Amino acid sequence: MMKKIFTRPKALTESPFHYCPGCSHGIVHRLVAEVIDELGVADDTVGVCPVGCAVFAYNYFNVDMFQASHGRAPAVATGIKRSLPDRIVFTYQGDGDLASIGTAEIVHAVARSEKFTSIFINNAVYGMTGGQMAPTTLIGQKTTTTPAGRDQEETGFPIKMSEMLSTLDGAAYVARVSVHSPQHIVKAKKAIKKAFEIQMSGKGFAMVEVLSICPTNWGMSPSESLKWLEENMIPYYPLGVYKEPAEVK
Amino acid sequence: MLEEILMAGFGGQGILSTGQLLANAGMMEDKHVAWIPSYGPEMRGGTANCGVSISDQPISSPLVTEPTTLIVMTRPALEKFGKAVVPGGRILINSSLVDQDIDRDDVLVMKIPANKIAEEIGNPRVANNIILGAVLELTGIVKIESVVESLKKVLPPRRHNMIPANQEALERGAALAKELK
Amino acid sequence: MSKILMKGNEAIGEGAIRAGCRHFFGYPITPQSELPHYLAKRMPEVNGVFLQAESEVSSINMVYGAAGAGKRVMTSSSSPGLSLMQEGISYLVGAELPCVVVNIMRGGPGLGNIAPAQGDYFQSTKGGGHGDYKLITLAPESVQEIIDLMAKAFDLSDQYRNPVMLLGDGVLGQMMEPVELGDIKDVKQTEKTWAASGMKGRNKPNIINSLYIQPEDCEDMNEKLFAKYAEISGKEKLWEEYQLDEADIVLVAYGTAARICKSAVDKAREKGIKAGLVRPITLWPFPDNVIADAASSANNVLTVEMSMGQMVEDVRLAVNGTCPVHFYGRSGGMVPLVSDVLAEIEKLAAGGDR
Ligand SMILES: Cc1ncc(C[n+]2csc(CCOP(=O)(O)OP(=O)(O)O)c2C)c(N)n1
Ligand code: SF4
């Protein structure tokens, strides 16, 4: 399995990633690209990248790409999919993008059961702008805007997007995965593939939330970050499938 | 010639469509016409107004703020717009619905018990056209035939059986206005 | 062809359909709601897409998606909604995407009211969102002119790959007037080889993007945009001249205000006052040369707007001091009366020659 990760999928361009060492974005890009390859849909796929560390994803995915304004990728994807119903459309969004500034867009795209796939990177922090609190920052977690640790009295509670969105009837498939170990990477890829297949079968909206690390803004080494994710994020954000179409169960 | 007619009353009285009927008739006579409704919060509380401008010149503003002719179907409408009518203009009051008077001697005031007459005709829904017939007679703005013609256009074919009653209403209104002249 | 009575808002919808637009995204707001009502019925008849978005922010981003996918697409709103759309419009410009954005203006600022106004002139013609850019801004004065301009709006936006704004006010949107729709023609649309619609055998991905992280590149982009804008300014100005012969007093007004001014001009001429009107139809590019010409032989220029005075600044730039430029306006949803404008003209006429 590890070997396969290191051969460059066709759905990735030659451009080297700009991500920090150890950052999960690179891994998830590869998984998405491998899924596109395996499904043989690169020619039909249109991706939408966010504002956030993945803003340059349009340089990495070797498919037609849009760069969307902060949080609005689900609206942009709606416009694309409604214009080109036979294409495969995905958004790739961080937690500030999807769970803060863009909550309205994602909720309503799910409610309408738009037939695209969202890859949601939950790294519990705003990466690009310098490690500020995200809506997914854990209670007690230190960020540049919660220097004493997130205090629920001041800043409320983290949002569990997968749980929340899976309550909507428009959600066809919602799963939370993690990429902190090779085994979990394999599972994550399966979920991403499923999310694309759900779209291709026309069943409705599909999202995979990927628990990810941001060593740079967490102020840890990559290996410490992986451990922190496992010990702190997974208990609060349980992994698993939150919603899937009845017939696939 | 520019006639600016304001029709004011409650929603459901068919005021907007009566206004459109008149505008349509003007259009059929190749006149310049514009129709504009009151919209938004004004519509709350059930009031419905519309302005119809008919002219042989292009119409500058379709908003009717100083009507040459006012048609009122409710008492509040008379209170609100009665003063705005230009001197020498006309106020037509549906006296079946409004028992109020207006204290102006520089305009022609005509009271028409339109609902009562409509019942005589045997169709309560033609009340507006009785008043419209009077307006046509007083202003000469469009011919009754043009209104009848546009009824054929705006009514779906299955409602064309309504046309004779409407024509009768227009004529009854015109006859009443003739007496007054 | 016979005429039919049509509402301005509906004419925008019908005009868009006839221009080949098959995608509409919007959020309800008075006084433009009859437009989405109309398209909700009409789009399915032509196999088009009508979608009520969850907000104007979403609408404009759905437009971004559809435009980038290569489709003729439109959204519409009224003043507060346009404020919400500004970031998206700036992105559309930055990514050089064509689309038509409709603003049926109402009284402001803030929630203001739903009465007709022209207070969004600056927002429409000076950019409106962040960054250096222009929107081609069309300002019809009648329902017929809406029909006549819609195809132009889509053509211009495709040709220059820039959003086009159709700017009207509540009167224009709400009123019914006779229109001649003409025959439905086949719409010739330019091929959009740049669209990101799936590679489908292409060997290089198309990317819809407005990020130019290197300042040098971003400056190049701005220069590219402004070269385009220079071309548009040279070629695409539209205006109407009304009673300008030997006009001593030149009025400048657009949209509903221009209709009111025409009546005032007629009444002034009846009284022997030589008044005339320039009516910009494109607010950007602004027909400044026409106004400068008319002003060069006039004693006074009078700008009339349904605002506290916005276009008057462009009129002053155009006239450039060759004669005094005056302003008369009503705002907040109030509409000037013909008699008010006539009184202003008479005041200027009484002031004598300069
Ligand atoms: C309207 C707007 N507000 C704020 C920003 C600044 N901004 C850029 S990225 C970002 C946060 C992104 O965080 P997240 O979505 O968690 O992605 P990550 O960088 O962690 O991958 C913010 C606030 C912006 N570009 N646009
Ligand atoms: S800042 Fe964080 S999220 Fe961004 S690239 Fe670096 S590690 Fe990844």
Reported as a single tens digit per residue, the pLDDT across A135-178 is 999 999 999 999 999 999 999 999 999 999 999 999 999 999 99
User: Which residues on neighbouring strands pair with residue C106, listed in sequence order?
Assistant: C116
Contact B61 C178 (CB under 8 A): no
Q: Is residue C77 part of a domain?
A: yes
Q: What is the pLDDT along chain C (354 residues), one digit of tens a residue?
A: 589 999 999 999 999 999 999 999 999 998 999 999 999 999 999 999 999 999 999 999 999 999 999 999 999 999 999 999 999 999 999 999 999 999 999 999 999 999 999 999 999 999 999 999 999 999 999 999 999 999 999 999 999 999 999 999 999 999 999 999 988 888 988 899 999 999 999 999 999 999 999 999 999 999 999 999 999 999 999 999 999 999 999 999 999 999 999 999 999 999 999 999 999 999 999 999 999 999 999 999 999 999 999 999 999 999 999 999 999 999 999 999 999 999 999 999 998 554
Mean pLDDT of A34-53: 97
Model confidence band, residue B44 (pLDDT cutoffs 50, 70, 90): low
Name the least confident of A94-98, B177-181, C73-77, C217-221.
Answer: B177-181
Proximal ligand: closest to the CA of A124 = 1
Task: Report which DSSP code applies to B82.
Answer: G
Distance from the CA of A164 to the center of ligand 1, in angstroms? 22
Q: Which residues have a Cβ under 8 Å from the Cβ of B165 and sit 6 or more positions away? A: B121, B122, B123, B126
Distance of CA C5 to the CA centre of its chain: 23
Report the CATH number at residue C85: 3.40.50.970
Report the CATH number at residue B9: 3.40.920.10
Quote the number of domains for chain C: 2
Homologous superfamily (CATH) of A25-248 is Thiamin diphosphate (ThDP)-binding fold, Pyr/PP domains (3.40.50.970)
Residue C340, amino acid: D
Contact C114 B62 (CB under 8 A): no
Contact of C86 with chain A, judged by CB distance below 8 Å, is answered with: no
Contact of C170 with chain B, judged by CB distance below 8 Å, is answered with: yes
Are C42 and C103 part of one and the same domain?
yes
Contact of A62 with chain C, judged by CB distance below 8 Å, is answered with: yes
Question: C touches which chains (3+ CB pairs under 8 A)?
Answer: A, B
Task: Judge contact between C150 and C19, C-beta under 8 A.
Answer: yes
Are C227 and C175 part of one and the same domain?
yes
Distance from the CA of C72 to the center of ligand 2, in angstroms? 37
pLDDT score, position C9: 97
Provide the edge-to-edge strand list for the sheet that holds B108-112.
B108-112, B90-94, B69-72, B2-10, B47-55, B32-37, C176-179, C4-7
* Closest residue of chain B to C180, computed from CA coordinates: B27
Q: Which of these, A97, A96, A87, lies nearest to A67 by C-alpha position?
A: A97
Q: Using one digit for the tens of pLDDT, what is the confidence trace for C300-314?
A: 999 999 999 999 999
**What range defines the domain where residue B88 resides?**
2-180
Q: Is the CB of A68 under 6 A from ligand 1?
A: no
Model confidence band, residue A249 (pLDDT cutoffs 50, 70, 90): very low
Q: Is the CB of A135 under 6 A from ligand 2?
A: no
Q: Using one digit for the tens of pLDDT, what is the confidence trace for B117-169?
A: 999 999 999 999 999 999 999 999 999 999 999 999 888 899 999 999 999 99
Coil, strand, or helix at residue C25? Answer: strand
Are C225 and C270 part of one and the same domain?
no
Q: Is the CB of A123 under 6 A from ligand 2?
A: yes
Kindly report the number of other CB atoms within 10 A of residue B171's CB atom.
Answer: 17
Are C278 and C336 part of one and the same domain?
yes
**What range defines the domain where residue C78 resides?**
4-197+206-235
* Closest residue of chain C to A101, computed from CA coordinates: C57
Tell me which of A123, A144, A225 to substitute to probe ligand 2's pocket, judged by most ligand atoms within 8 Å of the beta carbon.
Answer: A123
Quote the number of domains for chain B: 1
Are C212 and C265 part of one and the same domain?
no
Task: Judge contact between C9 and C104, C-beta under 8 A.
Answer: yes
Contact B35 C175 (CB under 8 A): yes
Q: Is the CB of A71 under 6 A from ligand 1?
A: no
Residues of A in contact with C51 (CB under 8 A): 78, 82
Point out the ligand 1 atom lying closest to the alpha carbon of residue A214.
20
* Closest residue of chain C to B153, computed from CA coordinates: C4
Contact of B23 with chain C, judged by CB distance below 8 Å, is answered with: yes
Task: Judge contact between A170 and A111, C-beta under 8 A.
Answer: yes
Distance from the CA of A121 to the center of ligand 2, in angstroms? 11
Q: Is the pLDDT of residue A233 over 60?
A: yes
Domain boundary assignment for chain A: 25-248
Q: Is residue C354 part of a domain?
A: no
Q: Is the pLDDT of residue A1 over 50?
A: no
Q: Residue C110 has which token pair?
A: 């803030």
Proximal ligand: closest to the CA of A95 = 1
Contact B60 C170 (CB under 8 A): no
Please write down the HEC assignment for all residues of A30-94.
HHHHHHHHHHCCHHHEEEEECCCHHHHHHHHECCEEEECCCCCHHHHHHHHHHHCCCCEEEEEEE
Nearest CA to ligand 2 atom 2: A214
Q: Using one digit for the tens of pLDDT, what is the confidence trace for A169-201?
A: 999 999 999 999 999 999 999 999 999 999 999
Report the CATH number at residue C272: 3.40.50.920
Contact of A113 with chain C, judged by CB distance below 8 Å, is answered with: no
* Ranges assigned E (strand) in B28-163: 32-37, 47-55, 69-72, 90-94, 108-112
Q: Is residue C185 part of a domain?
A: yes
Nearest to C65 among A43, A58, A76 (CB): A76
Contact C178 B39 (CB under 8 A): no
Are C137 and C231 part of one and the same domain?
yes
Q: Is the CB of A74 under 6 A from ligand 1?
A: no
Question: A touches which chains (3+ CB pairs under 8 A)?
Answer: C
Contact of B165 with chain C, judged by CB distance below 8 Å, is answered with: no
Q: Which of C27, C54, C59, C71 to mutate to test the interface with A (most CBs of A within 10 A)?
A: C54
Distance from the CA of B166 to the center of ligand 1, in angstroms? 65
Q: Using one digit for the tens of pLDDT, what is the confidence trace for A4-29?
A: 556 899 999 999 999 999 999 999 99
Nearest CA to ligand 2 atom 5: A19
Question: C325 in the Ramachandran plot: left (φ > 0), alpha (ψ -120 to 50) or beta?
Answer: beta
The complex's ipTM works out to 0.91
Q: Residue C195 has which token pair?
A: 């669209």
Q: Is the CB of A48 under 6 A from ligand 2?
A: no
Residue A67, amino acid: Q
Q: Do chains A and B touch (3 or more CB pairs under 8 A)?
A: no
How many Å apart are CA C52 and CA C61, to the nearest integer?
13
Q: Is the CB of A131 under 6 A from ligand 2?
A: no
User: Which residues on neighbouring strands pair with residue A45, listed in sequence order?
Assistant: A88
Mean pLDDT of B11-31: 94
Contact of C40 with chain A, judged by CB distance below 8 Å, is answered with: no
How many Å apart are CA B12 and CA B166, to the nearest integer?
18
Per DSSP, helices labelled H in B14-126 are: 15-28, 75-81, 114-121
Q: Which of these, C251, C110, C116, C134, lies nearest to C171 by C-alpha position?
A: C116
Residues of C in contact with B35 (CB under 8 A): 5, 175-177
Q: Residue A69 has which token pair?
A: 């304004």
pLDDT score, position B40: 58
Distance from the CA of A147 to the center of ligand 1, in angstroms? 19
